[in-house]
Amino acid sequence: MRAAYLDTSFLLAILFDEPGAAGFSRKLGGYEQVFSSDLLTAETLAAAVRERLDVGMVMTVLDPLSLVLPHRSLDREMREVLAVGYLRGADAWHVACALFLADGRRSELAFLSRDVSQRRLARRLGFPTP
């Protein structure tokens, strides 16, 4: 199964029709299953309200995502992420959630982000970052 972890920056580029959005959308459509954390929901809804997008439409876009809802603290994953390099808290949380989800099979889970630092660290941790 082709699976990906989706960072908010990637989804917002599509929603806001930023340059390259069509390519991002095609890339996202190539995955059978797409995961993210509930942080993506909060960040996306906040951005939608800020930009006066229809929240109902945005919720429709979020529906197909499978949420990673850890049953324990991600301290171990956060420490691993930050040992590789610095990321802001929210960005580090997304990578930590992907580590939790991958559970040792990092090469099988793509990490989709537009953030250069986040992608670099995800790649250093063993995730494909197409």
Domain ranges of the chain: 3-124
pTM reported for the whole predicted model: 0.93
Amino acid (1-letter code) at residue 70: P
Q: Provide the pLDDT for residue 29.
A: 92
What confidence tier does 80 reach under pLDDT thresholds 50, 70, 90? very high
pLDDT tens per residue, range 49-77: 999 999 999 999 999 999 999 999 999 99
The three-state secondary structure class of 109 is strand
What CATH code is assigned to 3-124? 3.40.50.1010
Q: Provide the pLDDT for residue 91.
A: 96
Residue-averaged pLDDT of the chain: 95
| CA 81 to each of CA 11, 41, 74: distance values in angstroms, whole numbers, following the listed order | 22, 22, 11
Q: Provide the pLDDT for residue 104.
A: 87
